[in-house]
Structure 1
Amino acid sequence: MCGRFTLSAEWGLVRDWFFIELAEQMEKIAPRYNIGPGQNVLAVIAHDGKRRAGFLNWGFQRSLINARAETLAVKPTFRSLLARKRCIIPADGFYEWQAGENNKKQPLRITLTDRPLFSFAALYETYVQPDGAKHHSCVIITTASNSFMSPIHERMPAILRREDETVWLDRSITDADRLLPLLVPGNGGNMRAYPVSTAVGNVRWDAPECIEPATL
């Protein structure tokens, strides 16, 4: 699954790495070290041939924060969003808790060794609240873990290959048979995991110390 991640890079790097052309007041974005469900997350969509960045609330109604890649084309809600409401969520790491001795769980931060930033495949929706205001939210897609992640957790976020991000964001592509093969876990040869403080379990703690390696 994916229940916590980081985007600690400066905005300039994020903008350039993801070729973002349309964004408002993004220079004020601060690095994030402990992003959790229910919070606003940076997302990128394709808009009139250009990449646009904005914020979406992480989680659909009823606290649904993830969508399984295996059922996207089957469940009616996800099937329609897969065809027309796709986005990417920039990140530079994500957390997972690994069970240890005496059922004690150790949080790990997972990063990629071959790139400073990467993207989660995600879906988004917009609905009108009773007061008439529009609410924009998203879910992060997960897939079965690869050989690197499987000792840590059976699920992992669907991390797009850099060359597949343009295809995922292309609104003219609606065929699930072309989109679903992008949601593969890879072999994990470019992944790294290291222990961090158990204090990251408190989602209110969002500081550089969250991503510092912990001594076990």
Structure 2
Amino acid sequence: MSPIPPRIRFPFSQPKANAVLTYLLWKLGGRWNYMALLKLAFFADRYHVRKYARPVSFDEYFAMKLGPVPSNLLNTITLQDFLGKEFSIVEGHDVRLNDPTKANFEELSESDVEALDFALAHFAGVGEKNEFDLADLTHAYPEWDQYKERFKVNPNGREEIDYADFLLNANPDHIVFKQLAFSDPFPPLSKREREDVLEEMREYASQLA
């Protein structure tokens, strides 16, 4: 029996997380629901992993009741000790960029911005109408869908998500897509493409370890 390969992990960068949060808020008018921001970060990471073999955020992902969650970015938002002075929490559930004129994106590469713009273009409209619809939409993707039976039994707790799962293709006929009248914007990857990206991602992650 072949050994199970270790999960792919990247060294988290707080300045990079702040830049991701800053860019999203800057593009969204300076204030947005924090749960919806986490989902946009997930979709940006999914795009970047599939196209460039690394995430934007370098975060650690967990499946939770309301979808995939970048855990360090969640802590950045919800724990006051981590939230930078450029942000503030409004009404308990929104994050505000205090001074958009001082927005700093130096930590973001050109491809990072490409991935964030992809997430904004395809998913922000869903979150703007209803942040819970955006959370539900993440349930159509294999990263979370593989754990759906577990959350039916116990909605509490979390399950770690491997970055390798970001390479799996969503079922275009998934019930959530139909319920939300949404078409998956991610181009499907062939088995060979997934294998090639996975090999490149493992090599890149090992160089950073």
Instruction: Give the TM-score of the pair, scaled to structure 2.
Output: 0.27
Structure with the higher helix share, 1 or 2: 2
Higher strand share: 1
Higher RCO (CA-CA < 8 Å; seq separation 6+): 2
